[in-house]
Amino acid sequence: MQILRTAAAMARRSARWDRKVAFVPTMGALHDGHLSLVHEARRQVGKRGAVVVSIFVNPLQFGPNEDLSRYPRPLARDLRLCREAGVDAVFLPSPEDLTPAGQSVFVDESLLSAGLCGASRPGHFRGVCTIVLKLFNLVRPDVAVFGQKDWQQLAIIRRMVRDLNVPVRLVGAPTHREADGLAMSSRNVYLSPEERAQAPALRRALQSGAELIRKGETSTARVLAAARKVLAREAPLGRIDYLELVDADTLASTRRLPAQPLLAAAVFFGRTRLIDNLAVVAAE
Ligand code: AMP
């Protein structure tokens, strides 16, 4: 497994790719969710292709009062997991490499970024898009794999790729969960035992809303009320940042059920902010 520690080394390497490349951008602190993306990347390019993982805690996507400084960085373990998962190359750029002093060009998606996480984390998706585009330019992948856990992020990156003609094919991979339904996240380690015990209620709340939709409910307010009730009952330590029913494509919310309903939520447990979503597929 090759380790590339600078943008220049990565660019030199990718100028010489002689096989298909699948790319998985991450912020490290790898868990089975990340590894499921690595396996999907391998499926996309086969044995003869190359799988590249980047590990970069992107300062541009953290707000001033967020967890940039305490974000976990278990690098040796991450590298071991990548090696064991059959990754061909790991890209480990430094902040100086990807966020040069005086940078004055950024990528701003202006429509899908407005709501959900974009509303509570101003500048977050600008930071994501800017760094993901830079990573694409340096790694030059044929395919890039992103998790549906970050549904809004995937939708925004799809839009960036479409609108800026970025030559990469995007693949979305399903959310990997703990046995009790909690979506795996590098941030789960911040949870106290009490918070950890209540956190799976986030998934159950979304499921209860989805169940109402499947039973024929068409009022957004009633669907959200059902989900909110589950959170109030089962996760008293949780504080809802947002809980919304939007269209899975446009991310727009409406009073009546959207064409492709997506339930999405962010909930704070103490200072830890967890997100999850559920795309409701109509029962056949
Ligand atoms: P992060 O390191 O949190 O920035 O995530 C890197 C990539 O892994 C993103 O595409 C995420 O959507 C994806 N990811 C994070 N958690 C999960 C999960 N539980 N299941 C599947 N993909 C995930």
CATH code at 268? 3.30.1300.10
Position 237 confidence tier, pLDDT thresholds 50, 70, 90: very high
Encoding tokens for residue 271? 């200072």
- Can you point out the beta strands (E) in the chain? 2-4, 21-26, 50-55, 89-91, 143-147, 169-173, 238-247, 261-269, 272-279
Q: Is residue 255 part of a domain?
A: yes
Which residue out of 30, 34, 187 has the highest number of ligand 1 atoms within 8 Å of its CB and is therefore the one to mutate?
A: 34
Q: pTM (2 decimals)?
A: 0.97
Residue whose CA is closest, atom 12 of ligand 1? 147
Q: Are residues 164 and 260 in the same domain?
A: no
Q: Are residues 9 and 54 in the same domain?
A: yes
pLDDT tens-digit map of 257-279:
999 999 999 999 999 999 999 99
Looking at residues 230-249, what average pLDDT do you find? 98
| 277 close to ligand 1 (CB < 6 Angstrom) | no
CATH number of domain containing 124 = 3.40.50.620
Q: Are residues 15 and 86 in the same domain?
A: yes
**Domain span at residue 118?**
2-173
Looking at residues 233-253, what average pLDDT do you find? 97
Q: Are residues 85 and 204 in the same domain?
A: no
Residue linked to tokens 């003609």: 165
Q: Are residues 155 and 237 in the same domain?
A: no
Query: What atom of ligand 1 comes closest to residue 175's alpha carbon?
Result: 20
Query: How far, in Å, CA of 164 to CA of 129, rounded?
Result: 11
Q: Are residues 145 and 15 in the same domain?
A: yes
State the total domains in the chain: 2
| 183 close to ligand 1 (CB < 6 Angstrom) | yes
| 175 close to ligand 1 (CB < 6 Angstrom) | yes
Q: Is residue 283 part of a domain?
A: no
Judging by beta carbons within 10 Å of its beta carbon (0-12, 13-18, 19+), is residue 59 exposed, middle or buried?
middle
Q: Are residues 155 and 205 in the same domain?
A: no
Encoding tokens for residue 95? 């902040």
pLDDT at position 282 is 61
61 CA distance to ligand 1 middle (Å): 15
Q: Are residues 193 and 169 in the same domain?
A: no
pLDDT tens-digit map of 169-200:
999 999 999 999 999 999 999 999 999 999 99
Q: Is residue 179 part of a domain?
A: no
Q: Domain ends where: 139, 173, 207?
A: 173
| 185 close to ligand 1 (CB < 6 Angstrom) | yes
Q: Domain ends where: 118, 138, 173?
A: 173
Q: Are residues 192 and 123 in the same domain?
A: no
Q: Is residue 44 part of a domain?
A: yes
Q: Are residues 82 and 197 in the same domain?
A: no
Q: Is the pLDDT of residue 283 over 60?
A: no
H or E stretch including 52? strand 50-55
| 152 close to ligand 1 (CB < 6 Angstrom) | no
pLDDT at position 281 is 79
34 CA distance to ligand 1 middle (Å): 5
Query: How far, in Å, CA of 166 to CA of 220, rounded?
Result: 36
Position 202 confidence tier, pLDDT thresholds 50, 70, 90: very high
Q: Is residue 180 part of a domain?
A: no
Q: Is the pLDDT of residue 284 over 60?
A: no
Q: Domain ends where: 173, 195, 210?
A: 173
Q: Are 261 and 222 in contact (CB under 8 A)?
A: no
Position 254 confidence tier, pLDDT thresholds 50, 70, 90: confident
% of the chain at pLDDT higher than 70: 99
Asked if 31 is an active-site residue, the reply is no
Looking at residues 29-49, what average pLDDT do you find? 98
Q: Are residues 272 and 136 in the same domain?
A: no
Looking at residues 193-208, what average pLDDT do you find? 98
Query: How far, in Å, CA of 252 to CA of 245, rounded?
Result: 8
Q: Is residue 181 part of a domain?
A: no
Q: Are residues 153 and 250 in the same domain?
A: no
